[in-house]
């Protein structure tokens, strides 16, 4: 619908799919988010949640289909669903795979995972028209939406994306080790209850966003053993969102070891922290498969 912006979570798990009763409520599929900006379909990450999105699109029978696909980076949990994405086999589908200017690495690695050592169907045998597209500088027009990209802290690098449409904004920011970007890492370690401050230039890409979907994989306690793995403490993400004036924060990239109950606790701690630090307007919640938000 024109002028309306919707977000649906298809995969919210980090690292590896985790099906089973412990993860049933939040879900076990890896990273994939659908954004509908009017009639434009944008997809962020191609983790295993993408397969379910493909089934859903098949049921809706939207043909011809145009998909604007943005990959944060090509680690397994962000590309693994692509060979199982039904619309990629349909000749009426067009898929634009976006990458930084002058760099089609994402497109190449997406297709590389379908070499016949890994998968029986070749990338070149897919029916859809699959086209690499580059950002022009830091922004690109994708259908009716404008998408900005920004660099993140992750081994091998990762990209965050900000979608602007009809004066609304959604930021997709996963695999970003924010704790390595703090103004004072030692202070955050010594006094974890205090606000963890960020340089103002890091806040700009998420400034005043209506929704921030952010990697929040670890608790404070877990992080000490995972420094340099590319993921932040969830409490740090709350501080990040609060300082930037974000309205709603969806914690995602849930750790594969975290059960539904443990994610509930992590979210609850984030809510309390936001209140305690004075970010009364910031809404904190856990991203959950099958949930659609209207922005």
Partner 1 sequence: MRRMDPRHSTVDLEELHTRVAQRVKGLRPRTERPHLLEIIEGPGKGTRFRLEQPSYDLGRGSQASLVLDSDEVSRLHAKLTRIDGEYTMEDAGSRNGILLNGIRVHAAVLRDGDELQLGDVLLRYSEGV
Identify the H or E element spanning 57.
helix 49-60
Q: Using the rule CB under 8 A, is 285 a contact of partner 1?
A: yes
d(CA 241, CA 236): 9
Residue from 6, 150, 198, 229 in contact with partner 1 (CB under 8 A)? 6
In sequence order, the 6+-apart residues with CB closer than 8 A to the CB of 146 are 139, 140, 163, 164, 165
Q: Using the rule CB under 8 A, is 167 a contact of partner 1?
A: no
Among positions 13-42, residues that touch partner 1 (CB under 8 A) are: 24-25
Residue from 12, 32, 33, 57 in contact with partner 1 (CB under 8 A)? 57
Q: Give 5 or 159: the residue with its C-beta nearer to partner 1.
A: 5
CA distances from 136 to 192, 200, 281 (A): 40, 24, 34
CA distances from 147 to 91, 133, 137, 183, 287 (A): 26, 13, 11, 28, 21
Q: Using the rule CB under 8 A, is 55 a contact of partner 1?
A: yes
The answer to whether 241 and 249 are in contact (CB under 8 A) is yes
Q: Using the rule CB under 8 A, is 292 a contact of partner 1?
A: yes
Q: Using the rule CB under 8 A, is 127 a contact of partner 1?
A: yes
Q: Using the rule CB under 8 A, is 187 a contact of partner 1?
A: no
Q: Using the rule CB under 8 A, is 198 a contact of partner 1?
A: no
Of 54-62, 110-118, 142-150, 168-176: span binding partner 1 (CB under 8 A): 54-62
Q: Give 163 or 178: the residue with its C-beta nearer to partner 1.
A: 163
For tokens 């099906």, what's the residue?
19
Query: Nearest approach, Cβ of 140 to partner 1 (angstroms)?
Result: 26
Identify the H or E element spanning 248.
strand 248-252
Q: Beta strands of 4-87 (E only): which ranges?
A: 5-11, 32-37, 40-44, 66-70
Q: Give 186 or 294: the residue with its C-beta nearer to partner 1.
A: 294
Residues of the shown chain interacting with partner 1 in the complex, contacts defined by CB under 8 A:
6, 8, 24-25, 54-55, 57-59, 61, 63, 86-87, 89-90, 127, 283, 285, 288-294
């Amino acid at each position: 619908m024109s002028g309306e912006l919707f977000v649906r979570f298809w995969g919210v798990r980090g690292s590896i799919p985790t099906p089973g009763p412990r993860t049933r409520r939040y879900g076990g599929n890896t990273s994939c988010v659908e954004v509908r900006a009017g009639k434009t379909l944008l997809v962020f990450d191609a983790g295993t949640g993408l397969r379910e999105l493909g089934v859903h699109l098949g049921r809706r029978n939207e043909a011809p289909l145009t998909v604007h696909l943005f990959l944060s980076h090509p680690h397994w949990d962000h590309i693994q669903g692509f060979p199982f994405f039904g619309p990629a086999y349909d000749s009426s589908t067009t898929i634009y795979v976006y990458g930084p200017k002058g760099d089609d690495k994402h497109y190449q690695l997406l297709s590389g995972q379908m070499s016949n050592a890994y998968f029986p169907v070749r990338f070149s045998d897919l029916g859809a028209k699959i086209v690499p597209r580059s950002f022009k500088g830091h922004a690109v027009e994708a259908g009716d939406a404008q998408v900005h990209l920004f660099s993140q802290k992750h081994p091998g690098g990762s990209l965050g994306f900000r979608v602007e449409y009809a004066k609304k904004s959604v930021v997709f920011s996963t695999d970003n080790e924010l704790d390595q970007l703090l103004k004072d890492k030692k202070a955050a370690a010594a006094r974890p209850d205090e606000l963890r401050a960020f340089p103002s230039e890091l806040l700009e890409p998420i400034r005043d966003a209506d929704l921030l979907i952010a990697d929040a994989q670890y608790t404070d306690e877990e992080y000490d053993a995972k420094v340099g793995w590319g993921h932040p403490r969830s409490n740090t993400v709350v501080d990040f969102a609060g300082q930037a004036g974000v309205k709603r924060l969806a914690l995602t990239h849930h750790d594969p070891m975290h059960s539904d109950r443990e994610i509930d606790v992590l979210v609850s701690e984030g809510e309390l922290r936001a209140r305690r630090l004075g970010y009364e307007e910031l809404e904190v919640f856990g991203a959950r498969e099958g949930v659609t938000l209207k922005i």
